[in-house]
Amino acid sequence: MNLCTTKTEPVTTSSSSSSSMQYVPEQDSNKMERVFNQTFQRYSSNNTKRTGKGTAIVWFRNDLRVLDNEALYKAWISSQTLLPVYCIDPRLFATTHYFGFPKTGALRAQFLLECLADLKKNLMKRGLDLLIQHGKPEDIIPSLAKAYGAHTVYAQKETCSEELNVERSVSRCLQQVVVPSEESAGAATTSNRHPNLQFVWGTTMYHRDDLPFDVTCLPDVSKGMKFVGGETAGLSRIYEYFWKKDLLKVYKETRNGMLGPDYSTKFSPWLASGSLSPRLIHEEVKRYENERQANSSTYWVLFELIWRDYFRFLSVKYGNSIFHIGGPRNIQHNWSQDKKLFESWRDGCTGYPLIDANMKELSTTGFMSNRGRQIVCSFLVRDMGIDWRMGAEWFETCLLDYDPCSNYGNWTYGSGVGNDPREDRYFSIPKQAQTYDPEGEYVAYWLPQLRAISKDKRNFPDTIRRTSRMVQEEVMIEDQTGDKFREEET
């Protein structure tokens, strides 16, 4: 049986596991707009006074929202005239550093365009407009600052090297710009100054300054989905998941699912683009706990946000080492870069249904479950022995929720070169399939040729070729002597 097909779209049948494409969130545009307006009223105030003078620029980056956006807020109160700007940097559409994959795949590019359109709409409701420019920020921002005489440029602070290089370039170029000072506007004698570049921290639930320790002290060791971009859609997803469907209370029990839109929150694409603030999600969880119930599931959503914060702070501590082959711990390993082997993984043609189904979902939707990401990572680096950076860069190409800190943090963790005390963490494919897809519904959805096989055989067709590592694991699972030489990952 050939499990590698060129057709990646799920085939629609009468089976419940073959429903048509599902939008996330599910609400129509009118309902999403109503949710946005209600949320905006809940978390905003009409009492803020605007006391600034002159012109300020807010340079939008990965913070494509109006709610809980400190850069936007500071720019607004410090000016009489505000210019919101987004730069479509051509480097975002270049290729990855080591293996030349596209840095931004088509699905994430479409999601980004939807986020920008929504941001522009929400700014226009409040008397502002988003200027979208094609080019490098270090060319565009200083030019606009000069043209409009802006006294300050406000932007969200990033932590990874490529983004930091852009920040330094913008800062350097702004030093070549001279504008009239605020105090001299309209005065007989004019003094000049350079525009300020002011960064704010806004990517994490907890501010870096709120940590009770320095970042350097971090420990060392369809069922297919179409995500709708933009803050309006992101807020609607919170409303839908928390309040309309009341799924927050069972999150911990369902979070390891793989099929369908509602086994997990699916907030990550909006968090990665900055269309949702982690602090806003925190507030909504606390509101849910007050109005409905607090349990292990509500705690676990907050825990996942803290885990996201952790990878962001880790990137501050370790810098570029999260992109290096040895990772933050500089582990030496003889990785393979076998192109054909990697392509079989990338294209979902390994012959292992659970791996292939996850990779088909990734290329088709731009999303993969957390459980799936751990499984395919383990398979690539443990069973295939492939350089983990190849997997990380392919995820960078495809994922709607790509964020360098989380992506490379998770890949270094999963490959044993990051902050995981267990260097040899391994996910047994047979056990994962038995636990999380026992009837083969997930694999049959993404690999339609398996639907003719009985449910208990879908993950284990007779033609499958097992690696020596898998055989070893299966022997360990079946061993009744209790002589396992290490614990298997569940």
The answer to the question of whether 209 is labelled as a binding residue is no
Q: Is 304 annotated as a binding residue?
A: yes
CA distance 115 to 274: 9
* 401 in a known ligand binding site: yes
Q: Is 305 annotated as a binding residue?
A: yes
Q: Is 315 labelled as part of a ligand binding site?
A: no
Is residue 265 part of an annotated ligand binding site? yes
Cβ 320 vs Cβ 405: under 8 Å: no
Complete domains list, the chain, with CATH: 52-202 (3.40.50.620)
306 is in an annotated binding site: yes
Predicted pLDDT of residue 21? 74
Residue 281 is labelled as binding a ligand? no
> What single letter denotes the amino acid at residue 252?
K
Neighbouring-strand partners of residue 187: none
Look at residue 207 in the predicted model and tell me its pLDDT: 67
Nearest to 416 by CA among 307, 327, 299, 295: 327
Amino acid at 479: D
C-beta atoms surrounding 33 within 10 Å:
17
**Strand order, beta sheet including 131-134:** 131-134, 81-88, 55-60, 150-156, 196-200
pLDDT at 1: 41
The answer to the question of whether 490 is labelled as a binding residue is: no
Q: Where are the alpha helices (DSSP H) in 319-403?
A: 339-346, 353-365, 370-378, 388-398
What is residue 449's predicted lDDT score, i.e. its pLDDT?
87
* pLDDT number for residue 301: 98
Is residue 123 marked as binding?
A: no
Question: How confident is the model at residue 423, as a pLDDT?
Answer: 65
Q: What is the pLDDT of residue 118?
A: 96
Q: Rounded distance, CA 436 to CA 258, Å?
A: 8
pTM equals: 0.75
- Token output for 490: 């569940």
Question: Cα 470 from chain centroid?
Answer: 31
Q: Is 262 annotated as a binding residue?
A: no
Structure-block tokens of residue 421? 């005390």
How many C-beta atoms surround the C-beta of residue 444 within 10 A?
A: 26
What is the chain's pLDDT, residue by residue, as a tens digit (490 residues)? 444 543 434 433 333 444 567 888 887 889 999 999 899 888 888 777 888 999 999 999 999 999 999 999 999 999 999 999 999 999 999 999 899 999 999 999 999 999 999 999 999 999 999 999 999 999 999 999 999 999 999 999 988 888 889 999 999 999 999 887 765 444 444 567 899 999 988 777 666 676 665 666 554 434 567 899 999 999 999 999 999 999 999 999 999 999 989 999 999 999 999 999 999 999 999 999 999 999 999 999 999 999 999 999 999 999 999 999 999 999 989 999 999 999 999 999 999 999 999 999 999 999 999 999 999 999 999 999 999 999 999 999 999 999 999 999 999 999 999 987 666 778 999 999 999 999 999 999 999 889 888 999 999 876 555 443 443 444 333 333 233 222 334 3
Task: Report whether the peptide linkage leading into residue 25 is cis, meaning its omega lies within 30 degrees of zero.
Answer: yes
Strand partners, 289: none
* Helix, strand, coil distribution of the chain in percent, nearest 5: 50, 10, 40
3-state SS, residue 150:
strand
Q: Residue 403, annotated ligand binder?
A: yes
In sign, the C-alpha dihedral spanning 105, 106, 110, 113 is: positive
Annotated ligand binding at 251? The verdict is: yes
Radius of gyration of the CA atoms of the chain, in A? 24
